[in-house]
Structure 1
């Protein structure tokens, strides 16, 4: 018999994890569990779960930070389970990319119903946290970039630009789109930023920065990341 949908539970309360495992397995789910945020990020990248149940109050990094990092590379439906019931906490989690929010203590029947709804709304297709571009490998779950296996040091802005290109690989991003996403809406006219930072990125990523094959310029429009290095 094939296993049911995979659920990853990220919660530091042992009793909650045990309760969820017993209850969800009885409902036909395949359950995996971790007790902190960093392990949760690693497990999510390895397991590729169908659903994630996430606590906000984790011992290492906050559940909100876990959620933000997940949303850098995956749209896996994520339901927050938390003792925090203030509207500001719910709004912050939903703004960060949560699909739903339940407060503890919770009704098992309601949780199961919300899991079913989240499954119905899930975007289809596999999502990988690792992207290979010739000799360059980017692991979005770990925020690591390597070239021929050796770590590359990118500034936060350079990494944000690269991540944005990867998220829209093969598509042209306009100057204003990039500036809005990376610097914010007040910077959409500052196109000189892009010339500087894309030149820096090419110096680090391209074999020949003067003849780029990964990060391509669409004259007068913007930039795009080649799905396969140009010329291959």
Structure 2
């Protein structure tokens, strides 16, 4: 769990058009409400992969929220009617049990993921990052809390003016803790998010310890242990 010095200031959106492609109507309603309350325009929804591809072929969206395990079309790149260059930034929704099927092909384009069950704060944080370079210069938002700043374009983090010098695993962990800052995350959740599989408790403890040392060089401490539950 990350202890916040101040409320997050990251969630300020422009008028970005979003397409939601999800098989569960309840999940679609939740995502629609979350995004609309944050200032996005949900310009379309689809319940199947092929319907989603057809919508993208007909008009331009700024962001697509895509359920990664749709039975008819799990990977948007398989949509033959949409050129890869025309695919907008993608935010995948995926269960931890299937995360290993997504990660090997990750990074082919501007994309990210959230694990199910989805959390509103995490969806908004990752949408912000995916859309950041589509917004005008000086006023563009920077992801972070109080004096902790994360730059997903370079995978660099700093606290105040001090670079933290994180490894890739440390950065993924810090990003996950920030996205779930008001929640306690378990070691199992950390393992799935950072590595995509299950790791021994000792490996997770060591990773958290290294990250805590780097983040807590300045006071106050941000990462706290919830004994028996996680961090």
TM range, smaller chain:
0.3 to 0.5
More relative contact order, 1 or 2 (CA 8 Å, 6+ apart): 2
Q: How does the TM-score come out when normalised to structure 1?
A: 0.46
Q: How does the TM-score come out when normalised to structure 2?
A: 0.46
* Structure showing greater Rg: 1
